[in-house]
Structure 1
Amino acid sequence: MDDIPQILVTLGAIFLLGLFTDLLGRRTFLPRVTLLLLAGFVIGPAGFNVLPDFREDWFPVVTNIALSMVGFLIGHHLTLRSLKKREKPVLWISIGEVVGAAAAMFLGLLLMGFPPEIALLLAGIAPASDPVATIDVIREVKGQGEFSQTLESVVGIDDAWGLIVFSFLLAMAQALYGKGEGWDIVLLGIWEIGGALLLGLLLSIPMAYLTGRLQPGEPTQVEALGIVFLCGGMAVWLHVSFIVAGMMLGATVSNLATHHRRPFTAIEGIEWPFMVLFFILAGASLELESLRAASVLGLAYILLRLLGLVGGAWVGGIISEVPHVWRR
C-alpha cells in the first residue's frame, strides 16, 4: 500500500512529460518519439535516476500492450483489397530490408574478423524492428496517402520475416558452435509465427461478430480493448509473437466485420498514453555503460544494420517499381 502514492505520482509525471514532449515536437523538427526517448534517458538510471525501481517491472507489461495495439492497427491495412493493390511493394521492400540487414551484418562482421558464430547471431538479430516508432511518426504527421499505408504494412510484415531469419541463423550458429543441430530453434520460430497467426485468427472470429452488433462508442471501445489485451496476454502465455497475433487479429476483423472501422478508431483513441509510457520507459532502460563496453562491435552493428536496412529497402523498391520519390 505504501507504493500507491509513488506509483500515481510517477504515472502522472510521465504523462505530463509526454504532453510536454508532444507540444515541443509540434514546434521543432524533432519527432515526438525521439523526444520521448531522450526524456526517458534523462530521467532514467543513465541520467538523473529519478524513476522508481519498479519501472523495470512495468516495462515488459507496457511493451506487450503497446505492441499488441500497434499490431492490431497495422492489421487494419492488411485487407485483401489493400494487399492486392500493394502486394509487390509490401512483399519486396519487406523482404529486401530483412535480407539486406542480415546479409550486410554477416558479411561486414566477417570482413572485420569476427567469428562466424557471432556474425550469424548478430545477423539474425539485425532485421528486428520496432514498428511502434514508425507508426507513431506516421500518426504525428497525419500520413494517409499511399506511401504511408504501404509503409505501415511493410513495418508489420517485416517483423514476421525477421523472426524466420532469426530462427534459421540462430540454428546455424548453434550448429557451428557445436551445440547440436539447432532444429529445435527452427521449430520454435515456426511455432512463434504459426501459433501467433492461429491465435489472432481464433480471437478475431468473435470480435468480428460483435463489432457489427455493438453500439459505437464506449461498448465498442471496451470490446476492442478487452480482446486486444486478451490477445497480447495469451500470446505471451503461449510463447508466440504478440505483434504478429495482433496483426492477424486486426487483419481478419478488417476483412470480415461489418462496421469494421469502429474497433480501430476505439484503439487509436486510447493508445497514446500507452505509447508515452512505452517510449519513456524504453529511453530509461538505455544503459550507457553497455554502449561503451560494446565499442567497436556496437558501432559496427549500428552502421551495418543501417546500411543493410536502407540498401535492402531501396533494392526492394526498385524490384517492385515504386515511384522514384518513395525510394528517396
Structure 2
Amino acid sequence: MAESMNELGPAAAGLILLGAILSLSIFADAVASRTRLPRISLLVLVGVGVAVITQLGLELPDARPLDGLGEPLIQVALVMVAFLLGGELTLERLRRTGPLILIVSLSVIGVGALAVGVGLLALGFPLALAVSLAAISVATDPAAVQETVHASGDTRLRARLLLGIVAIDDAWGILVFGLAMAALGWALSGDGQQALLEAGWELGGALLLGTAIGLPAAWLTGRLAPGEPTQVEAIALILLLAGLSTWLGVSSLLAAMVTGMLIANLSRHHTRSFNEIEHIEWPFLVFFFVLSGASVDLSRLDEAAGLTLAYILLRLVGRLLGGLLGVRLARVRQADLPRDIGLALTPQAGVAMGMALLAAEHFPAHGTALLSAVVASTLVFETFGPMLVRRVLR
C-alpha cells in the first residue's frame, strides 16, 4: 500500500494536473471578477508559473506538462474556436453587416498585417518570423471588445461598428494565416513544385474536409432530439475535425471554420450544435491558455525581448493606420467615426496563441521566439486593450 502510494504514474499525474489546472481557473475567475484583470491573462500567467517551476525549480528544460495529452487538448480547443467562428459567417449576418464594417475591417487587417510584416523584415528578423507574426497580428479577441462595449452602454455607430468587426475579424485571421503558412512553405522550400502542391493540399484539403463533414452534419442537425444526442453530435464533429485534419495534413482551423459556416447556412436548427459546443468550450480553453503559457522557454526569453517589443509597437501602429484609412474610405458613407478606431481592435488572445503554436510546428527553428513573443504580447494586449477600447468610445 505504502509503496503504491509513493509511485505516481503518468496517468495519475496527468489526472491530478488536469484537476489542478481547472481548480486554478476557478481561482482566476474569482480574481478577475474582483480586480477586472483579464482572466485569459491570469490563466496564461498560471502557465508561465508552471514553466518557472519545471524549468527553473526542477531544472527540467524539456519537460512538457501533461506530456502527450497536451497537444490533443490544444488541438480540440482550437477546432472548437474555429468551428464557432465559422458559425458567425451566415449570409444573413454578412448582408446585415453591410459595406461599412467590411471597409473598416479589411483596412485594419491589410494595413496592420503589412505594417508588422514589412516592419519586422526592415528590422532584420527572418522571413518566417515576419510573415507568421504579420498573419497572427490580424486576429482580435472578440470577448474583450464585446465586454468593454457592453459595459460602457454605448449604442452609437462606433460601438455597433466595433461589435460587427470583431464578429468576423478572427475568421479573416484564420484565412490570412492559412494563406501565409502555405506561401511560406512554398517560398522557403528548395523544391518549389513540391512545396506548392503541399500548400495547395493544406488549403484545398481543408476545404474538402470541411465540406465532407459539414454537409452531412447540416442535414443531421435538427433531426436529433435536443439534449444528449445533440451533445454527442457536437463532440463527434469536433473530434473528427481535429483528428482527420491532423491525419490528412490540412489546416484544422480552416476545415473547422468551413464546417461551421456550412451548418450555420444550410441547417434550420444550426444553433443547437453551436450552443452545445459553447457549453463545453471553456474547460478546453483553460487547458489551452495554461499550456500555452507553460510552453514558453524561459532560458531564451532575452532573445525574444526585441522581437516582442517590435511586434507590440508595429501592431499598434498598424491598427492605428489601418483605422485611419478605413475611416477615410468610409467618410462618404458615415461621418461619425473616430479616426483612432483601429486602436479599439488591439485585444488579442486565443486565436493568436493557437496560430503561434501551429506556426511553431511549421518552423521549429523559430518556434521559441515566436511563442515567447505572442504569449508576452497577449498579456500586454489583453491588459491594456480594453483601456484603448474605452478611450475610443469616449
Task: Give the TM-score of the pair, scaled to structure 2.
Answer: 0.70
The one of 78, 92, 99 equivalent to 1:81 is: 92
Within 1, Cα distance between the matches of 2:139 and 2:34?
22
CA contact under 8 A between 1:96 and 1:316: conserved in structure 2?
Answer: yes
Contact 2:105 2:165 in 1 (8 A): no
Contact 1:14 1:277 in 2 (8 A): yes
Task: Mark the CA change 1:135 to 1:196 in structure 2 (over 3 Å): closer, same or farther.
Answer: farther
Are the structure 2 counterparts of residues 60 and 307 from structure 1 closer, same or farther at C-alpha, using a change threshold of 3 Å? farther
Which of the residues 223, 229, 232 maps onto 1:222? 232
Query: In the alignment, which residue of structure 2 is the partner of 1:280?
Result: 290
Verify the 8 A CA contact 2:109 2:138 in the aligned structure 1.
no
Give how far 1:271 is off: 0.6
Q: Percent identity?
A: 36
Deviation at 1:67, TM superposition (A): 1.0
The worse-fitting range, judged by mean Cα deviation, of 262-271 and 92-101 is: 92-101
CA 1:317–1:142 in structure 2 vs 1: closer, same or farther (change >3 Å)?
closer
Tell me if 1:16 matches 2:23: yes
Amino acid at match of 1:213: R
Q: Which residue of 1 aligns with 2:43?
A: 36
Residues 74, 153 of structure 1: 8 Å contact kept:
yes
Question: How much does 1:111 deviate?
Answer: 4.0
C-alpha distance after superposition, 1:128-151 (max 9, x if no partner): 339998255468669696643531
Q: Which runs of 5+ in 1 are unaligned?
A: none
Distance 2:89 2:78 in 1: 17
- Work out which of the residue numbers 309, 317, 340 in structure 2 matches 1:307: 317
Determine which of 21, 25, 29 is the counterpart of 2:32: 25
Q: Distance in 1 between matches of 2:59 and 2:23?
A: 15
- DSSP 3-state at the match of 1:258: coil
Equivalent of residue 212 in structure 2, options 202, 209, 212: 202
Q: Does 2:149 align with 1:134?
A: no
Q: 1:212 to 1:145 in 2, by over 3 A?
A: farther
Between the aligned partners of 2:271 and 2:33, the Cα distance in structure 1 is: 28
Amino acid of the residue matched to residue 36 of structure 1?
L
The answer as to 2:173 corresponding to 1:163 is no
> C-alpha distance in 2, partners of 1:213/1:50?
54
Any conservation in 2 of the 1:101–1:312 contact (CA below 8 Å)? yes
**Which residue number in structure 1 is paired with residue 155 of structure 2?**
none
2:136 is paired with a residue whose SS is: coil
Residue in 1 that maps onto 2:195: 185
- Structure 1 distance, partners of 2:245, 2:190, is 28
* Aligned CA-pair RMSD: 3.2
Q: Give the structure-1-normalised TM-score.
A: 0.83
- The letter for the 1-side match of 2:322 is G
The one-letter code matched in structure 2 to 1:324 is L
Q: How many residues align?
A: 319
Contact 2:17 2:66 in 1 (8 A): no
Q: Comparing 255-264 with 309-318, which one deviates more in the overlay?
A: 309-318
Corresponding residue of 1:6: 13
Moved more, 262-271 or 284-293: 284-293
Please tell me whether the aligned partners of residues 211 and 259 of structure 1 are also in contact (alpha carbons under 8 angstroms). yes
Which structure has more RCO (C-alpha within 8 Å, separation ≥ 6)? 1
In structure 1, how many angstroms separate the alpha carbons of the residues matched to 2:58 and 2:329? 48
- SS of residue in 2 equivalent to 1:126: helix
Alpha-carbon displacement from aligned partner over 1:59-104 (angstroms, at most 9, x marks no partner): 3212210111111111121011112222635644554444334432
Contact residue 46 and residue 286 of structure 1 kept, 8 A: no
d(CA) in 2 for partners of 1:109 and 1:222?
A: 45
Give the match for residue 71 of structure 1: 82
User: Structure 2: any 5+ residue segments left out of the alignment?
Assistant: 1-7, 151-158, 343-391
Corresponding residue for residue 379 of structure 2: none
Alignment correspondent of 1:261: 271
Pairwise CA distance, 1:228: 1.7
Superposed displacement of residue 191, structure 1: 2.5
Partner of 2:364: none
How much does 1:2 deviate? 2.6
